[in-house]
Structure 1
């Protein structure tokens, strides 16, 4: 069995929980509350900025030119293509790219990006590949499920179309192949890869919950009070 198949089999309860999450089922039906989707747009935009950086850092860790080039290309695609979806949805809320970049990360988004960036800076390429893989495979599988249960077109249809597109499928297939190739080449990295994969998978599920609940920090920073000079 390929290592990616083993990881996905182990994570089956997480995938099932994603399929059952109300953010997923309501988005598929077109009934998801607009504020919940706006929260996803804002937070996922911030997430993708770091996600692209992780692929760039991974490219610097690659031993061969072909892998390095593909990792760098994927970083570019995230910034130039995938984030266009977020920018188009943001326009419906009157949000500009500058508005999106100014959004503060919610706790779950912060935890997820911290995990990925730390892995990219401190881990080896097999561990980085395993850490980023659940995002691609998870969105493809969830979007395929949404397409199956959707009754027709609605305002969220572009989301489903983006993450079931041929281009996205090809990228996810490449990510999966990379995980398997690196697992075969580095059997001593399996435990690290497994830990990174499962942490990311759990955070994928929690990201849906974060958006659905409009998660925010419970307590914000104390505001500074201006003091007049004597």
Structure 2
């Protein structure tokens, strides 16, 4: 009889994977976009590129969360992911719309806007994972967006405020305790799912979490570069 796969890990999945992506987290911390957003010196053109791309991303991320909800094994997880799917749309309609008004951009101005190469790749990666993989692997793929934004938001909000920072609403949104509570819940779901995963599935969880974290870096960096399709 073949021996079952056995996972050898120290502590919960979240502790393991957070350490695995330490180099990526360091690279994110060093992003010019985040440093300049924190002190209010970020170029309006760069921020506008980011917001436009984030609006496109969140529409698809909301769909990914709804798919995860449909695969959830318990009603608690299902309700949490359905609520998160709704909140992703509300952020897109609220926070982003306010910023667009600040920049004098109307929703009609964005009609026909296309995802950048990095945004397109990230969106398609997430949708492919949540549609074709297990609940556990899907949760691991969508988790970095929650966790990294919470981590970045809390640390920026703890810094000394820049009077008149035009991006303070963004900082307040992702540094808010309510957003932190949602991130912690998804971390707990990932840890729970990992305890039930086979060794192969656990490795898949690590792999997709790491890739999604890389895409988080790429997404912010692409805004700094105002990335477009070259041909």
TM-based fold match above 0.5 = yes
Deviations 1:112-160 (A, max 9, x none): 0000000111011111100011111111111222223444241011111
Deviations 1:147-175 (A, max 9, x none): 23444241011111000111100110001
Name the count of aligned residue pairs: 219
Using the TM superposition, name which of 151-160 and 115-124 deviates more.
Answer: 151-160
Q: Does 1:156 align with 2:182?
A: no
User: Contact (CA 8 Å) 2:156, 2:175: kept in 1 or not?
Assistant: no
Give the Cα separation in 2 of the matches to 1:98 and 1:52. 21
Report how far residue 34 of structure 1 moved. Answer: 0.3
User: Contact (CA 8 Å) 1:126, 1:193: kept in 2 or not?
Assistant: yes
Identify the match of residue 67 of structure 1 among 70, 73, 77: 77
Q: Give the alignment's Cα RMSD to 1 decimal.
A: 1.4
User: Contact (CA 8 Å) 2:154, 2:176: kept in 1 or not?
Assistant: no
Which residue of the partner structure matches residue 196 of structure 2? 185
Using the TM superposition, name which of 146-155 and 129-138 deviates more.
Answer: 146-155
Q: Does 1:167 align with 2:183?
A: no
Which residue of the partner structure matches residue 151 of structure 2? 141
Give the Cα separation in 1 of the matches to 2:140 and 2:23. 18
Give the Cα separation in 2 of the matches to 1:203 and 1:179. 19
Deviations 1:195-225 (A, max 9, x none): 1100000010111110111000111xxxxxx
Give the Cα separation in 2 of the matches to 1:150 and 1:210. 27
Corresponding residue SS for 1:118: helix
Give the Cα separation in 1 of the matches to 2:192 and 2:99. 36
Give the Cα separation in 2 of the matches to 1:139 and 1:157. 15
Question: Runs of 5+ in structure 2 lacking a partner?
Answer: 1-10
Using the TM superposition, name which of 64-73 and 176-185 deviates more.
Answer: 64-73
Which residue of the partner structure matches residue 27 of structure 2? 17
Identify the match of residue 92 of structure 1 among 102, 106, 120: 102
Identify the match of residue 120 of structure 1 among 130, 146, 159: 130
Using the TM superposition, name which of 184-193 and 13-22 deviates more.
Answer: 184-193
Question: Runs of 5+ in structure 1 lacking a partner?
Answer: 220-230
Structure 2 length-normalised TM:
0.90
User: Contact (CA 8 Å) 1:28, 1:150: kept in 2 or not?
Assistant: no
Which residue of the partner structure matches residue 204 of structure 1? 216
Report the CA distance shift for 1:134/1:83 in structure 2 as closer, same or farther (over 3 A): farther
Give the Cα separation in 1 of the matches to 2:133 and 2:111. 27
